Amino acid sequence: MPRTSCCAAGWRSSEVRVSPDLDPDLREELLRRTMREARICAGLSHPSIVTVHDVVREADRPWIVMELLRGRALDRMVEEEGPLPPRRVAEIGRRLVAALEAAHATGVLHRDVKPGNVLVLPDGRVVLTDFGIAVSDTEESLTLTGRLPGSSGYVAPERLRDGTVTAASDLWSLGATLYFAVEGRAAFERASQAERLTAALEEQPDPMRLAGPLRPVLNGMLQYDPRHRPSGRELDVALASVADAPQDSTPTRLDVSELKGAWREVTPARGRGTMAWAPPAPTAEVGGDGRWWRLAVSVVAGIITLIVAPLLVEYLSSLLFPDDPPEPSQVTATQDAG
């Protein structure tokens, strides 16, 4: 883990610790890469990304001088307050999506998005931390020492499978982070790390009970195949539809058509459903009483149908069949004599 010291001037310094057991050449390459990526992160400027002021190398160790923030990590907040409301989680999610989009636009991947790296400040600001720290330290450790490339339960399946890292991998990790925030538990809650990793590779996320309108959004973010996950822009639209919903409109059973955009299951494959972005066709806005009005109209129409239908049948029958056919008369045949 990085070693951190604080300063009264409003910034903190964090030392990136590198394993001393590495081959000297590999260690030097890791240090160069850490410095390079940290300097890139220092060029990022976004309200939801911790500000990096400077990057220096002293005593053969890289130090990152960054903004000092006083707030609670998301994992601590959930531990103290319990699962957060879906609307609040959607608001947090929108800020983190914006942060990742800003980073990805410059070619920076976070690679360790998790509740412990999300700070919620007293004024409501949400900040994604530890850019350029966990990146190099943990990613290189996968190939050099066999350690996990990130945090168990928050590493995208493709990273566990073959080491592939893309922007979609960060969004998967964000989905797992938001899942934890709204459910109060990990998406793949298992007894051991090995079981968690296996579940992430072979199983669907555990069923959600508290996510409400966030359920289809999280299902989309946690898709096994990166190609089937939503983009940052699509996520912002979907999360906004949840965050901006009226306080009393959170359904217990979600009709995905109520979202401005939603994911629907289109192709089951190997036990996993494929979630695709499927925005519903635009419909007219209906007020809060519209649902009752439609119900009343349906009931009245049903009553009218029950009354009118028999009368209509009788009327049509009288037109088509005005009278009962007469009984056949008895005709006596006579023969003319003679």
* Residue 77 clears pLDDT 70, i.e. is over it: yes
Identify the band that residue 24 occupies on the pLDDT scale cut at 50, 70 and 90. confident
Which pTM was predicted?
0.66
Say whether 112 is catalytic: yes
First to last CA, the chain: 134
Q: For position 150, what pLDDT does the model report?
A: 66
Q: What pLDDT band is residue 289 in, cutting at 50, 70 and 90?
A: very low
Q: Considering the chain, what is the average pLDDT of its residues?
A: 73
Q: Which is the catalytic residue, given 23, 54, 112, 244? A: 112
Is pLDDT at 198 greater than 70 in this prediction?
yes
- Among 32, 151, 171, which residue's Cα sits nearest to residue 97? 171
Report how far residue 200's alpha carbon sits from residue 84's, in angstroms, rounded to the nearest whole number.
23
Q: What is the pLDDT of residue 44?
A: 86
pLDDT tens figures, 113-165: 999 999 999 999 999 987 654 443 334 433 444 455 567 789 999 998 888 88
Contact of 97 with 154, CB cutoff 8 Å:
no
Query: What pLDDT score was predicted for residue 325?
Result: 45
pLDDT of residue 164: 86
Phi and psi for 263 in degrees, rounded to 5?
-105, 140
Average pLDDT over residues 219-225: 95
Going along the chain from its start, the domains and CATH numbers come out as 70-277 (1.10.510.10)
> What kind and span of H or E run contains 218?
helix 215-221
**What is the rounded CA–CA span in Å between residue 208 and residue 187?**
8
